[in-house]
Amino acid sequence: MSTAPQTVVGPRILLVVGGGIAAYKSCELVRLIRKGTGEVGGDVTCVLTRGGQQFVTPMSLAALSENQVYTNLWDLKNEAEMGHIQLSREADLVVVCPATADFMAKMAAGIADDLATTLLLATDKPVMVVPAMNVRMWEHETTQRNVGFLRSAGVTVLDPDEGPMACGEFGYGRLPEPHAIWREIAAHFGIEVPEEARPPRREAANDAHGELEALEPEDESASTSGGLGGLISRIIPRSTPKRSAEEIEAEYAELEPGEEGDPDELPEEDAPEFNPDFGGPLLAKKGGASAAPPIDPDAINHEVNARQSPPEELGSSHEDESDGEAEPERDEPTDPDDENKTAGDEGEKEAGEEVEAKDASEPESEPAPGSEPAARQAKPAPKKSASSIAAPELEEDMGDALGGEEFEISAEWGNLEGRHVLVTAGPTWEAIDPVRYIANRSSGKQGFAVAAAAAALGARVTLVSGPVALKTPPGVDRIDVESAAEMNQAVREALPADVAIMVAAVADWRPRQYQPNKMKKRSSAPPALMLTENPDILANLAASDKRPELVVGFAAETEEVIHNAKLKRKRKAADWIVANDVSGDVMGGNQNRVHIVSEDRVDSLDEMPKAAVAMALAQRIAQVLSKEAAE
């Protein structure tokens, strides 16, 4: 009577995958457990925590384990049968890999707030924990206390490896390699696992003269190499038969002298004769060369780019401007002083200095008796540098807040003559380091338009502007600042004023500490940016002993625009708040729709160009000041 062969059943492992970058190694661990030692393969059921799902997916573990992956304690289908109890009882060993410091702390405290921690409390089977965390977290007293408590409770806690970590630090806390973890699991069940095979190292042999010889490969029949390289070596035969070192030396000794290619026996070649043709077209005498005319239209910058000025005409005038006649050519100087002067003149010409002709509109004057001609007395004018260009020339390429239009003034609006109006505009830049800063999307167009409108009505306007690329409106005194602190100081120094219109989008916060050097990117988490509050320019101005007669603030809102504007007016103690909705393309655009909120009314304007908004605001300010002056 024959009996059926007994089936060998491998260990059943319940693998809890915790959160951490080392979670990716759990996939290889599942493969090793399933593979086993060849004769015995284990069965793996995976429980994936919420943190572990950030690094590996349930689909990956399900495909490798060929079992369902469990992630949720509140699965009604399974919890109807108390699924977490069955999971904890069906396994032969529960392995937590990787185990974070948070997970081990929950295990030590008996917290059961998800599927993984609940089944660990409910299990009656052995538990093995494989920690993986930062070296400082591993060495922390709290973590070591939790590890000691778990070990005293019968939990097997493996020691982490030492090495580099994902955070850029080095030390203990690195998850052991999957093969080492599988060896510990197998040892728990008394299964012997062979050491991981390492590829043999091939070293070159040195002969007596210190030269390196290539090692001949072993016989192909005895080679254990596999893969594509081994397959190709079996299909394609060697083109050169194997030779031993003795055969190579014997073949080299049989060569006739000179056959090895002595470099001393190479035929000598005649050096080429150097005989250049100085009269040819490719060479020119000193001072006779000139640049080729531009033939490529794309290379002529000023014809392609409208912002590029055409090159200046270089003119050198050696004529006697006193009488209009050209100076005759001078012979070679014989006096040493004349030779020095001539050499100096040539050096100036070679240095590329320009010699500008005298303006034809300038009246001519006769030289004094005994004096040298005017052409000899004149010195080359200095070349205009970028630093000497006037400010209006620099502003030619800047934007215009008015779009090139001018205001049409009506006598019925009143005027601001004799009034000092203080306006702020643009964003502020709060420096983090020499490269980075905190800013906002403000273009400064609305503030510049307000300053231009006030100046058009006759006011003396002081404009304190953040970093923007806009032209200064006519009749406006401009003060450029960068940070909120600089703007606050400039506003205080500009007082007293009759009206203050705070249009600038001042940053609410700035870095608490400025870094003098550029902050470098690290492989770990980004650096913490500690912020502190900037001075409230509007509130400080409204509470100042030099408070202007009328204080107007702006409010950029994205929701409940009028309601938030009313609250801001009371909080800042301002007379008016001009509120607008910036959820669209208002910041940086040319259109705006505002609500002027005062103590007893709200005036809502239709959407219009920012220049029209500015003139409407300036008109209302002029009417209020005229009315108060009449009273």
Residue 182 in tokens: 């599988």
Strand bridging mode 550-557 / 476-480? unpaired
The residue with greater pLDDT, 32 or 525, is: 32
Dump pLDDT digits (tens) for 198-252.
555 444 334 444 443 333 444 444 444 455 555 555 555 555 566 677 777 777 7
> What percentage of the chain exceeds 90 in pLDDT?
41
Q: Structural domain of residue 17, as residue ranges?
A: 12-188
Question: What distance in Å separates the CA atoms of residue 93 and residue 455, rounded to the nearest whole number?
Answer: 84
Tokens at 254, concatenated: 């049989």
pTM confidence score: 0.41
SS3 of the chain: helix, strand, coil, percent, to 5: 35, 15, 50
Please indicate, yes or no, if residue 382 is contained in any of the structural domains.
Answer: no
Domain ends where: 188, 207, 224?
A: 188
Whole-angstrom distance, CA of residue 485 vs CA of residue 443: 19
- Choice among 206-220, 265-279, 596-610 with the minimum mean pLDDT: 206-220
Taking the C-alpha atoms of residue 304 and residue 557, their distance in angstroms, rounded to an integer, is: 43
* DSSP 3-state of 31: helix
Q: Identify which has the larger pLDDT, 333 or 589.
A: 589
**Chain segment 161-200, per-residue pLDDT in tens:** 988 877 778 888 889 999 899 888 888 888 877 776 555 5
Identity at 346, one-letter amino acid code = E
Residue 528: the pLDDT is: 81
Residues 191, 194, 199, CA angle at the centre, nearest 5°?
A: 160
As a dihedral over the C-alpha atoms of residue 62, residue 67, residue 73, residue 75, rounded to 10 degrees, the angle is 100
Which of 204-208, 345-349, 510-514, 574-578 is the least confident region?
204-208
Helix crossing, 178-188 with 25-35: angle to 10°? 40
Mean pLDDT of the chain: 75
How far is Cα 568 from Cα 550, in angstroms, rounded to an integer? Answer: 16
- DSSP code at position 604: E
Instruction: Give one word for 299, left, alpha or beta, with left for phi > 0 and alpha for psi -120 to 50.
Output: alpha
Q: Residue 324 gets which letter from DSSP? A: S
End-to-end CA distance of the chain: 127
Please say which residue of 154, 188, 222 terminates a domain.
Answer: 188
Cβ-contact 466, 504 below 8 angstroms: yes
Q: 607-618 in b/e burial notation, b at 16+ Cβ within 10 A?
A: eebbbbbbbbbb
| CATH number of the domain that residue 573 is part of | 3.40.50.10300
Question: Is 529 a residue whose pLDDT tops 60?
Answer: yes
Give pLDDT, residue 295. Answer: 53
Task: Indicate if the pLDDT at residue 5 is higher than 90.
Answer: no
Tallying the residues shown for the chain, one arrives at 631
Q: Which of these is catalytic: 27, 46, 97, 167?
A: 167
Last residue of a domain, one of 156, 188, 220: 188
Nearest 5 degrees, angle CA 317-CA 320-CA 326?
Answer: 80
210 located within any domain: no
d(CA 455, CA 361): 37
CA count, 13 A, side-chain hemisphere, 621: 34
Residue 392: its pLDDT value, please? Answer: 45
Residue 419 domain-assigned?
yes
Hey, what are 452's tokens? 């231009």
Q: Respond yes or no: is residue 167 known to be catalytic.
A: yes
The span from the CA of 406 to the CA of 103, in Å, is 70
Q: Is residue 72 part of a domain?
A: yes
Edge to edge, the sheet with strand 476-480 lists 476-480, 460-465, 420-425, 499-502, 550-557, 576-581, 594-597, 602-604
Residue 599 lies in a domain: yes
Tokens encoding 409: 């003034």
What domain count does the chain have?
A: 2
205-206 vs 576-581, strand pairing mode: unpaired
List the one residue out of 502, 460, 508, 515 whose CA is nearest residue 483: 508
Cα–Cα distance measured from residue 16 to residue 95, given in angstroms and rounded to the nearest whole number: 6
pLDDT at 325: 43
Residue 231 lies in a domain: no
Q: Cβ distance 471 to 443 under 8 Å?
A: no
Indicate the helix (H) or strand (E) that contains 541.
Answer: helix 537-542
Task: Tell me if 73 is assigned to some domain.
Answer: yes
611 in a structural domain: yes
Q: What is the CATH number of the domain that holds 75?
A: 3.40.50.1950
Q: How much of the chain, in percent, has pLDDT values that exceed 70?
A: 63
pLDDT, residue 335, reads 47
Longest dimension (CA), the chain: 147
Task: Report pLDDT digits (tens) over 99-146.
Answer: 999 999 999 999 988 888 988 888 888 999 999 998 899 999 999 999
Of 43-47, 173-177, 202-206, 434-438, the one with minimum mean pLDDT is: 202-206
